[in-house]
Amino acid sequence: MAKLLVACVILTVALFGLIHASDLILGTINTGDRILYSQVTTAPGIPGGLVSRAVNYTGIYNITAIRAYDRTFNRTGQAHITGGGLYQRYVNLALQTRFVGNALDYLVEIYGR
């Protein structure tokens, strides 16, 4: 019984990781934080190629949270920070598909105070 419970827990954690693997979630949204940037970034798939987009934000407030949600059906994108980030006033994000021919569709939100 214990082995079955452990196997179920491991499977649940693995599936949860797969579902959220393409989202970038950094920092915490606290009371008093405001949304500094909210934009949908899309690009059609290119047959035989990968799609990538850069999102750059610069502002006067310190960034406290960054959210990049993959909105595609098969969730095949990836997002990472290439510059700046939390507790700074700018951030550069790189959004890219992981598989050839897939489209890109991300909602990027940046919070700060």
Query: How many C-beta atoms lie closer than 10 Å to residue 69's C-beta?
Result: 18
pLDDT at 5 over 70: no
Give the pLDDT mean for 71-91. Answer: 94
Query: Where is average pLDDT lowest: 16-25, 41-50, 65-74?
Result: 16-25
Rounded Cα gap, residues 90 and 77, in angstroms = 22
Domain ranges of the chain: 21-112
Look up the pTM and report it: 0.79
If phi over 0 gives left and psi between -120 and 50 gives alpha, with beta otherwise, what is residue 51? beta
Question: What is the sign of the dihedral through the CA atoms of 27, 28, 33 and 37?
Answer: positive
pLDDT (average), residues 80-94: 96
d(CA 100, CA 77): 11
What is the helix (H) or strand (E) element at residue 58, kind and residue range? Answer: strand 52-58
Judge whether 106 and 66 are in contact, CB under 8 Å.
no
Taking the C-alpha atoms of residue 96 and residue 74, their distance in angstroms, rounded to an integer, is 14
Instruction: Give tens-digit pLDDT for 30-56.
Output: 999 999 999 999 999 999 999 999 999
Name beta bridge partners: 94.
54, 80
pLDDT of residue 95: 95
Q: How confident is the model at residue 22, as a pLDDT?
A: 87
